[in-house]
Amino acid sequence: MAPVPVVPLVDQSAFHDRAVIDGSLDLQTLTTVDGIYRFASPACRTLFGWEPQELIGRHQDFFVHPDDAVLVRSARSEALLGTGRATMWRFLCADGTYRWTEALSTSVDVQGERLILATIRDVGDRTESELELERRATTDPLTGIANRTVFMDRLHQALRRLARRGGFVAVLYLDLDRFKSINDSVGHHMGDAVLLQMAERLRHFVRPQDTLARLGGDEFAIAVEDLAWAEDAVALSLRLIEAGRAPFVVGDERFVCTISIGVSATSDSQDSAEALLRQADLALYRAKDRGRDRAEVFDEDLHARAVGRLGTERMLRRAMDEGGLRVEYQPVVDLRSGETLAAEALVRVWDPVQDRLVAAESFITVAEAAGLVGRMDEWMLARTMEQAAEWRDLFAGTRFTGIASNVAGRELADPRFAPSVVAVLEAHDLPGGALQIEVTERVLMEASNSALSGLKLLRAAGVKLILDDFGTGWSSLSTLRLVPLDFVKIDGSLVRVLQAGGPERAIVASIIDLCHALDIAVVAEGVETPAQMDDLVALGCDRAQGFWLARPGPPRSIEDRVLHRHPPGT
């Protein structure tokens, strides 16, 4: 054994029950607050093969299994704070093996010095299954860090200590951005490797008195205590975000998976752990909504919006359960002939409180967060195909081709989605072209291989594919090559600035020329003035929709336009 530094020993006469200690079957140790052994009882020899003096002066980490080091450091910190608890970890024996132990630590004052007294019991004869069950109850099986149960318990303790110590306690709620695309594209084993690396990165930023946990999936949380200022939690979150930007390397693969963080802090010990975590979750939701790779802090304004979202979610659930969903249709017009060639189906919700229909932009993000989009899309598909079947004979002899419907990324990723669409078309005896599927640039860029395969299956069945919101900042040119497209929709933000000339007009002209070269028709959305329509015609745009042409309305409004050809603006 290598020589150890010389440190002052504890005067063993300070122990009033020295005989009890010497005769105990359990190992009794004293360490400094930093983990340096100052005393070890004779049981060290019989349990682990070390002479007591071989521990003196060495750091506790030397005798602890590397996987348990963080747990042991946390136990020392909790002992100092007066909240010591039994922990299970592996002690290094003199023969190089490890034995499982159960240790209880508390802080004591010995000769005027603050030390950590630990009673360490050998539990090596217990079955591995028993030990594994205990570890599963407290740790995340993948990463080895704390699980949700332990996290909430530690957070409760931190809030209780807040009354005595003052300062702030904070919760950082972390989520990996676009992590699902890793699982979908290269498999869960790769995703698990990324989660392991992320947990290891986060460990480096966590102090012994803090708690890092995996709450589930790609969600982590950190409980931070003893903060002088709430802003310190924000500073920590910014360092974590910076660390998350470095690529994850798994074998020959490199993944970029940034972090979004929600922060909630309190100086009130009466606040509940559940409320603090819920507030951090709300802040995380806002960080995601504002673009990801960022941190957001909970405040009362956010709370008010959360209450509003809860009311919206209740309205949505009631509408779906009680037949409150509606569909309005906005015509898509040929810019040369003025004929209505298609209609975009737009979901609406009847709000009995306000006695009116509510547009999707008021509730779609809430529906996505609540996991209601799939059910809503399923209803929309069935209803619009019923409508298409009704129009099939009515519009015979016209140029009307079909109904366009938006599809969310989550539904697109479901391998059952494309076959279910084909089945609905067949059930209504409709050709594939009766349906036009709209996906945004963002959804298409994030689409997994299975989602892209689903789109190609739909295209092969005759369904028309529309790339929506084109030109809004993603890698637009590359999206044109991912799947065979029939239409590209120019985003209304570009249409609105056409009159100003400059680069926006050149961008729109380039999009139209490029799409035509690829045999893709172009639809401009958000047309609000006759001047915008004239500009689009001059640039060679094929189709358009917008409030100046026609507002969304019930099915009869489309029937009136298709059969009687109202001029734009009426």
Q: Tell me the CATH number at 31.
A: 3.30.450.20
In a domain, 303, yes or no: no
The verdict on 352 and 244 lying in the same domain is no
DSSP character at residue 175: E
Average pLDDT over residues 281-293: 91
The verdict on 347 and 490 lying in the same domain is yes
Average pLDDT over residues 177-198: 85
Helix (H) or strand (E) holding 69: helix 69-80
The verdict on 396 and 470 lying in the same domain is yes
Q: How far apart (Å, rounded) are the C-alpha atoms in residues 98 and 66? A: 11
pLDDT digits (tens, 9 = 90+) for 98-140: 998 989 988 888 888 889 999 999 887 665 666 666 667 788 8
Q: How far apart (Å, rounded) are the C-alpha atoms in residues 78 and 553? A: 64
Q: Tell me the CATH number at 360.
A: 3.20.20.450
In a domain, 308, yes or no: no
To 5 degrees, how large is the angle CA 401–CA 550–CA 363? 90
Q: Lowest mean pLDDT: which of 169-173, 293-297, 564-568?
A: 564-568
> Does 443 score more than 70 pLDDT?
yes
In a domain, 6, yes or no: no
Residue whose C-alpha is closest to residue 389's, from 431, 421, 347, 422: 431
Residue whose C-alpha is closest to residue 155's, from 173, 132, 131: 173
Q: Do the Cβ atoms of 463 and 436 come closer than 8 Å?
A: yes
Q: How far apart (Å, rounded) are the C-alpha atoms in residues 10 and 117? A: 12
- Residue 566's pLDDT is 62
Average pLDDT over residues 399-425: 89
Q: Tell me the CA end-to-end span of the chain in Å, nearest whole number.
A: 93
Q: Lowest mean pLDDT: which of 166-170, 215-219, 258-262, 413-417?
A: 413-417
Cα R_g (the chain), whole angstroms: 32
**103: Cα within 13 Å, side-chain hemisphere:** 28
The verdict on 541 and 477 lying in the same domain is yes
Residue whose C-alpha is closest to residue 75's, from 118, 36, 121: 118
Number of folded domains in the chain?
A: 3
DSSP character at residue 126: S
- Residue 379's pLDDT is 92
Q: Do the Cβ atoms of 28 and 119 come closer than 8 Å?
A: yes
DSSP character at residue 262: E
Q: Tell me the CATH number at 216.
A: 3.30.70.270
Among candidate residues 75, 110, 137, the one where a domain is terminated: 137
> Does 9 score more than 60 pLDDT?
no
pLDDT digits (tens, 9 = 90+) for 225-236: 988 888 888 888
Provide the token pair at 175: 């989520």
Percent of all residues in the chain with a pLDDT value above 70, rounded to a whole number: 89
Provide the token pair at 4: 């150890």
SS3 54: helix
- Identity (one letter) of the amino acid at 390? E
Give Cβ neighbours of residue 318 (< 8 Å, ≥ 6 apart): 324
In a domain, 457, yes or no: yes
Average pLDDT over residues 325-344: 95
- Residue 126's pLDDT is 64
The verdict on 222 and 330 lying in the same domain is no
Residue whose C-alpha is closest to residue 182's, from 258, 129, 270: 258
Contacts 24+ apart (CB under 8 A), 34-37: 34/59, 35/59, 35/60, 35/61, 35/72, 35/73, 35/76, 36/7, 36/60
- Residue 83's pLDDT is 60
Q: How far apart (Å, rounded) are the C-alpha atoms in residues 421 and 261? A: 37
Residue whose C-alpha is closest to residue 483's, from 451, 435, 524, 517: 451
The verdict on 417 and 479 lying in the same domain is yes
The verdict on 128 and 97 lying in the same domain is yes
**What stretches of 123-202 adopt beta strand conformation (E)?**
168-176
In a domain, 84, yes or no: yes
pLDDT digits (tens, 9 = 90+) for 492-535: 888 988 877 778 888 899 999 999 999 999 999 999 999 999 99
- Count CB atoms within 10 A of the CB of residue 297: 21
> Does 13 score more than 50 pLDDT?
no
Q: How far apart (Å, rounded) are the C-alpha atoms in residues 535 and 499? A: 8
Helix (H) or strand (E) holding 212: strand 211-216
In which domain, by residue range, is 208 found?
140-298
pLDDT digits (tens, 9 = 90+) for 339-349: 999 999 999 99
The verdict on 383 and 234 lying in the same domain is no
The verdict on 127 and 144 lying in the same domain is no
pLDDT digits (tens, 9 = 90+) for 45-89: 999 999 999 999 999 999 999 888 878 887 887 787 776 677 888
Q: Lowest mean pLDDT: which of 17-21, 27-31, 222-226, 254-258?
A: 17-21
- Residue 415's pLDDT is 85
The verdict on 121 and 267 lying in the same domain is no
Q: Give 3-state DSSP helix, strand, coil % of the chain, rounded to 5.
A: 45, 25, 30
Q: Is the pTM of this model over 0.75?
A: no
In a domain, 331, yes or no: yes
In a domain, 240, yes or no: yes
Among candidate residues 137, 153, 184, the one where a domain is terminated: 137
Among candidate residues 102, 137, 172, the one where a domain is terminated: 137
Give Cβ neighbours of residue 488 (< 8 Å, ≥ 6 apart): 466, 467, 470, 480, 511, 515, 520, 521, 522, 523
The verdict on 387 and 447 lying in the same domain is yes
In a domain, 59, yes or no: yes
Q: How far apart (Å, rounded) are the C-alpha atoms in residues 269 and 557? A: 59
Give Cβ neighbours of residue 565 (< 8 Å, ≥ 6 apart): 338, 339, 340
Average pLDDT over residues 403-431: 90
The verdict on 47 and 166 lying in the same domain is no
- Count CB atoms within 10 A of the CB of residue 556: 9
